[in-house]
Amino acid sequence: MTAVNFVIVGFGGMGSYHEKNLMPTEKEKINLIGVYDILEERQEVAHEKGLFTYESFEAVLADEKVDAVLIAVPNDLHKSMSIAALKAGKHVVCEKPATLNTAEFDEILAVAADTGNRFMVHQNRRWDPDFLMVRNLYQNKPIGSVFQIESRVNGANGIPGDWRHLKKHGGGMLLDWGIHLLDQILWLVDSPIKDVKVDFSYILGDEVDDGFTSFITFENGVKALVEVGTTNYVKLPRWYVKATEGTARIDDWDLSGEMVRAVQTANESMPQPIQAGVGLTKTMAPPSEDATEELALPEATAEYDTFYSNVYHVIRDGAQPIVKNTEVRNVLLLIEQMFEEDK
Ligand code: NAD
């Protein structure tokens, strides 16, 4: 087994997360041999960690020891740096969003095809335990067939950092968090999209969106609400899933939540009316105890390889990438449609 020699380009928040948390999980397969960041202070941080630092991006590309680069720079630089690396004979792992639109993405893929080098995108949230729970629900149907999914991330800290506030850098929340949530939903549902509606939020006064709410209807009938908010001082649940025989709620990344399934006797056992505000209701009363049962939320296991192990096998053995470029392109196309609707 010959490990893949990687260099991290862009040693900011995410570049350093790859170094500290992701690459070390596959020590045998991924060998981090150096770092390059345009900022001296980030080079210094890398140096203090005992990492080799390159003087320039060109120096990274000129080093024959380098098999692959991780591109973890602001979004607008992904295209030019990925293309330069592919042309220099390197494989590329690029942070999300791969590019700002499909035209840029196609340019990268054309160079990857010409050079025979691999281009892969870090859509890491396919491995998130909360997503894996929903995937389990969708595929194994413990509460029947899923027909409605609400996927939200709600923060109250506004848009973080500097470049994320600017359009020219590919800022805004649709390209930041939105791309994660849309990648999850499109990969999960695996049916063509029939209809999309989106409402962007510009509450913070930035030139880019600080959040959005979207409604997606798939041709197989499944409906999804996908929402990102950065001005939510009170959060809604991370996931709310309705299926033909029950409902599940996953509150947060701590995987707390609840899942309830209707039991056979549901129709025979009518709920008792309750006081609701200044009125009375049977419709909105909790179901009677014998009509439902509480189930444990499903397992959160991925039956697929880890991200970096897959990267290794793609590069060394010609394996199929878990995050396929056709899928990445479909998400970018959906994002394009959403921006188009905002004009
Ligand atoms: P950041 O601002 O913290 O880091 C970006 C780094 O790139 C900075 O250190 C900056 O100096 C460096 N840089 C800028 N121009 C450069 C150049 N020409 N050459 C070399 N280095 C350069 O931003 P971040 O949060 O780390 O985001 C970086 C990328 O990672 C973005 O594309 C972002 O969308 C992505 N990201 C992904 C996840 C995820 O979960 N997959 C999470 C956070 C960020």
Location of structure tokens 């994002």: 335
Which pLDDT score is estimated for 267? 59
Nearest residue by C-alpha to atom 17 in ligand 1: 38
On whether residue 45 sits in a domain, the answer given is yes
At 324, which amino acid appears? K
On whether residue 215 sits in a domain, the answer given is yes
C-alpha 136 to ligand 1 mean position (Å): 32
- Residue pLDDT tens, the chain, 343 long: 799 999 999 999 999 999 999 999 999 999 999 999 999 999 999 999 999 999 999 999 999 999 999 999 999 999 999 999 999 999 999 999 999 999 999 999 999 999 999 999 999 999 999 999 999 999 999 999 999 999 999 999 999 999 999 999 999 999 999 999 999 999 999 999 999 999 999 999 999 999 999 999 999 999 999 999 999 999 999 999 999 999 999 999 999 999 999 996 655 667 889 999 999 999 999 888 889 999 999 999 999 999 999 999 999 999 999 999 999 999 999 999 999 988 7
Residue in 37, 69, 120, 175 to alter for ligand 1 test, most ligand atoms within 8 A of Cβ: 37
Residue in 8, 81, 95, 122 to alter for ligand 1 test, most ligand atoms within 8 A of Cβ: 95
C-alpha 96 to ligand 1 mean position (Å): 10
Looking at the structure, tell me whether residues 115 and 130 fall in a common domain.
no
Spatial separation of the C-alpha atoms in residues 197 and 109, rounded to whole Å = 29
CATH number of the domain where residue 100 is located: 3.40.50.720
**How far are the Cα atoms of 10, 272, 289, 317 from residue 292, in angstroms, in the given order?**
52, 14, 6, 50
Spatial separation of the C-alpha atoms in residues 106 and 88, rounded to whole Å = 18
Looking at the structure, tell me whether residues 213 and 66 fall in a common domain.
no
On whether residue 73 sits in a domain, the answer given is yes
Q: Is 214 exposed, middle or buried (0-12, 13-18, 19+ CB in 10 A)?
A: buried
Spatial separation of the C-alpha atoms in residues 223 and 150, rounded to whole Å = 9
Q: Tokens standing for 282?
A: 């049977």
Looking at the structure, tell me whether residues 114 and 18 fall in a common domain.
yes
- What atom in ligand 1 is closest to the CA of residue 162? 2
CB 179 within 8 A of CB 187: no
Residue in 16, 17, 73 to alter for ligand 1 test, most ligand atoms within 8 A of Cβ: 73
C-alpha 173 to ligand 1 mean position (Å): 15
- What atom in ligand 1 is closest to the CA of residue 15? 26
C-alpha 168 to ligand 1 mean position (Å): 15
Tell me which residue range forms the domain holding 159. 126-303
Which pLDDT score is estimated for 1? 79
Ligand 1 pocket: which residues have CB below 6 Å?
A: 9-15, 36-39, 42, 57, 72-75, 77, 95-96, 122, 124, 161, 176
Domain count, the chain: 2
What sign has the CA pseudo-torsion 325, 329, 332, 334?
negative
Q: Is 241 helix (H, G, I), strand (E, B) or coil?
A: strand
C-alpha 75 to ligand 1 mean position (Å): 8
Looking at the structure, tell me whether residues 24 and 109 fall in a common domain.
yes
Looking at the structure, tell me whether residues 30 and 89 fall in a common domain.
yes
Which pLDDT score is estimated for 268? 62
Q: Tokens standing for 305?
A: 């390889």
C-alpha 226 to ligand 1 mean position (Å): 24
Looking at the structure, tell me whether residues 205 and 284 fall in a common domain.
yes
C-alpha 95 to ligand 1 mean position (Å): 8
Looking at the structure, tell me whether residues 181 and 99 fall in a common domain.
no
On whether residue 338 sits in a domain, the answer given is no
Residue 119 has φ and ψ, to the nearest 5°, of -125, 120
Looking at the structure, tell me whether residues 40 and 188 fall in a common domain.
no
Q: Is the omega angle on the peptide bond into residue 321 within 30 degrees of 0, that is, cis?
A: no
- What atom in ligand 1 is closest to the CA of residue 163? 2
Looking at the structure, tell me whether residues 134 and 219 fall in a common domain.
yes
β-bridge partners, 218 = 193
Looking at the structure, tell me whether residues 171 and 260 fall in a common domain.
yes
Spatial separation of the C-alpha atoms in residues 33 and 312, rounded to whole Å = 15
Looking at the structure, tell me whether residues 295 and 178 fall in a common domain.
yes
CB 121 within 8 A of CB 96: yes
Residue 282 has φ and ψ, to the nearest 5°, of -105, -35
- What atom in ligand 1 is closest to the CA of residue 175? 34
CATH number of the domain where residue 199 is located: 3.30.360.10
Spatial separation of the C-alpha atoms in residues 63 and 219, rounded to whole Å = 49
Looking at the structure, tell me whether residues 136 and 227 fall in a common domain.
yes
Q: Is 236 helix (H, G, I), strand (E, B) or coil?
A: coil
CB 82 within 8 A of CB 317: no
On whether residue 290 sits in a domain, the answer given is yes
Which pLDDT score is estimated for 265? 60
Spatial separation of the C-alpha atoms in residues 126 and 135, rounded to whole Å = 10
Nearest residue by C-alpha to atom 11 in ligand 1: 39
Under 8 Å CB-to-CB from 197, ≥6 apart: which residues?
A: 214, 215, 341
